[in-house]
Amino acid sequence: MTVNFIVGESTSVTGVILAAVVGFITGAIYFGPKTMYPRWWKALGKSPAENPGGNMGLTFGAIFLAQLVQAFALAFVLQRMYPSGVSAIAAAIVGACVALGLNAAPSLGHRLMGNQGWKVWSIEVGGDVLALALMSAVVVSF
């Protein structure tokens, strides 16, 4: 199944869904208990004994939905930029640039105004840049 963003051009829905899955898995590894999560949690001023709380099923479902929206947006941008196709490497570079320009830059103000600081911001942005780069490579591979 394909989705047409441009007349005569189409994007694979399978590629978009797989890109969302890749983004979700990337986030799970990046923010895993042995990777960045403990550093991020500490940078937020939380103790290791504190539980994040909330409905984690709902949280992870919302995260996957957000990844799906990002994957469709990346597919749209990449198709508009490269209607004849593009390599996975070039797409990954575009994805990283999109993440830096449209994800990282605006979130800096949110983190600083919320007194969460540069460390929280850099940890979160690192995961975003990595995920969007990988997601972009996946989107153009289908």
Q: Are 42 and 106 in contact (CB under 8 A)?
A: no
Question: Nearest-5° angle of CA 111, CA 55, CA 71?
Answer: 60
At residue 12, φ and ψ (nearest 5 deg) are -70, 125
pLDDT tens-digit series, residues 34-50: 999 999 999 999 988 88
pLDDT at 51: 81
Domain range summary for the chain, segments of one domain joined by +: 2-46+55-139
As a whole number of angstroms, the distance between CA 126 and CA 130 comes to 6
Q: Which residues contact 17 (CB under 8 A, 6 or more apart)?
A: 68, 71
At residue 51, φ and ψ (nearest 5 deg) are -95, 135
pLDDT at 48: 86
The whole-model pTM stands at 0.88
pLDDT at 121: 96
pLDDT at 7: 43
pLDDT at 26: 98
pLDDT at 93: 98
Task: Show the low-confidence residues of the chain (pLDDT under 50).
Answer: 7-8
